Amino acid sequence: MSIKVGDKVPAFSLKDQNGVERSLNTLGAKALVLFFYPKDDTPGCTMEACAFRDQYPIFQGLNAEVWGVSGDGASSHRRFAERHQLPFPLLVDEKNKLREIFGVPRSLLVLPGRVTYVIDKEQIVRLIFNAMLDASGHVSNSKSILEQLGS
């Protein structure tokens, strides 16, 4: 299964680094920027997460939440979030179930891919940005589509 632009996102629920259950239902009338990244504390992933951190107030002003997702465990996510002062949740997808639901491809056949989805308040996918080496592009493209949607 692979989610495409225009698809309604299926219901999902995962715990974040602090054990808080996160699901689309908890968002209310907010859009969601859901970014899948390969691994905590790697150079590209740190750059991407910190870029989302730095722009987080703008995303909030656009009535959107930001959630990161990787296959790392809660303790790794906690360390990563604390070390870089990330203000948004990091979802624990240790068995890569959510990654599979969304159809996030592997990069170079080995590494978990870096893909960002912008999901509007009706839970429809409005953007899929797939670029392993363009960490900052995930932030700018997400911001741009949210501005266009007038979230």
What are the catalytic residues? 45
Is 86 within 8 Å of 17 (Cβ atoms)?
A: no
Burial 76-111 (b: 16+ CB within 10 A, else e): bbbebbeeeebebbbbbbeeeebbeebebeebeeee
Taken in order 53, 112, 42, 92, is the CA torsion positive or negative? positive
* Contacting residues for 10 by C-beta, under 8 A, at least 6 apart: 101
Is 16 within 8 Å of 91 (Cβ atoms)?
A: yes
How far apart, in whole angstroms, are the C-alpha atoms of residue 63 and residue 150?
9
